[in-house]
């Protein structure tokens, strides 16, 4: 495990250096900006997990990924994490800021409650990612997938 932590830290540092990313106060981002990046990060994580099951038709991989990245599933993940008290007080605060943010976008295939709850989850993912806490991000997503029965 220690080796993987070093790899994550090394990747994060390399990524920041290579793209000339400046240090930004994470608290300066709006919850919707955090959700914007969190949505992408979560999707890459899910696509990586789906591809790890072996090479199959792209359409099949897309269907499995879409099932796990939709607002209903994301809302279920964060609800289960909250029920099990898997999040820190700081993470709960970030989630709630994202959930309560007023978005002009509306849900296409989800209830408004699920959509807003999922936005909070995405904000949390974005916060952990931008904060460079990749180990915690992976732990939270992994625990969430476990809680909904998506980890074997």
Catalytic residues: 39
Residues (pLDDT < 50) of the chain are: none
Max intra-chain CA distance, the chain: 43
Quote the Cα angle for 70-9-79, to 5°: 30
- Dihedrals φ, ψ of 103, to 5°? -110, 145
- What confidence score (pLDDT) does residue 5 get? 58
Q: How high is the pLDDT of residue 3?
A: 57
Q: What is the 3-state secondary structure (H, E, C) of 52-114?
A: CCCCCCHHHHHHHHHHHHCHHHHHHHHHHHHHCCCCCHHHHHHHHHHHHCCCCCCCCCCCHHH
- The CA distance from 19 to 6, in Å, is 20
Q: What is the pTM of this model?
A: 0.91
């Amino acid at each position: 495990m220690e080796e993987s932590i070093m790899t994550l830290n090394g990747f994060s540092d390399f990524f920041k250096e290579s793209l000339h990313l400046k240090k930004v106060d994470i608290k300066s981002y709006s919850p919707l900006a955090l959700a914007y990046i969190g949505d992408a990060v979560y999707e890459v994580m899910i696509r990586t997990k789906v591809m790890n099951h072996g090479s199959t038709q792209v359409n099949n991989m897309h269907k499995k990924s879409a099932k796990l990245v939709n607002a209903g599933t994301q809302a279920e993940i964060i609800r289960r994490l909250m029920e099990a008290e898997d999040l820190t007080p700081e993470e709960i605060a970030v989630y709630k800021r994202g959930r309560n943010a007023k978005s002009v976008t509306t849900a296409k295939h989800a209830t408004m409650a699920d959509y807003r709850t999922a936005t909070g989850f995405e904000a949390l993912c974005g916060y952990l990612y931008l904060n460079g806490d990749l180990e915690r991000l992976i732990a939270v997503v992994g625990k969430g997938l476990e809680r909904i029965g998506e980890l074997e």
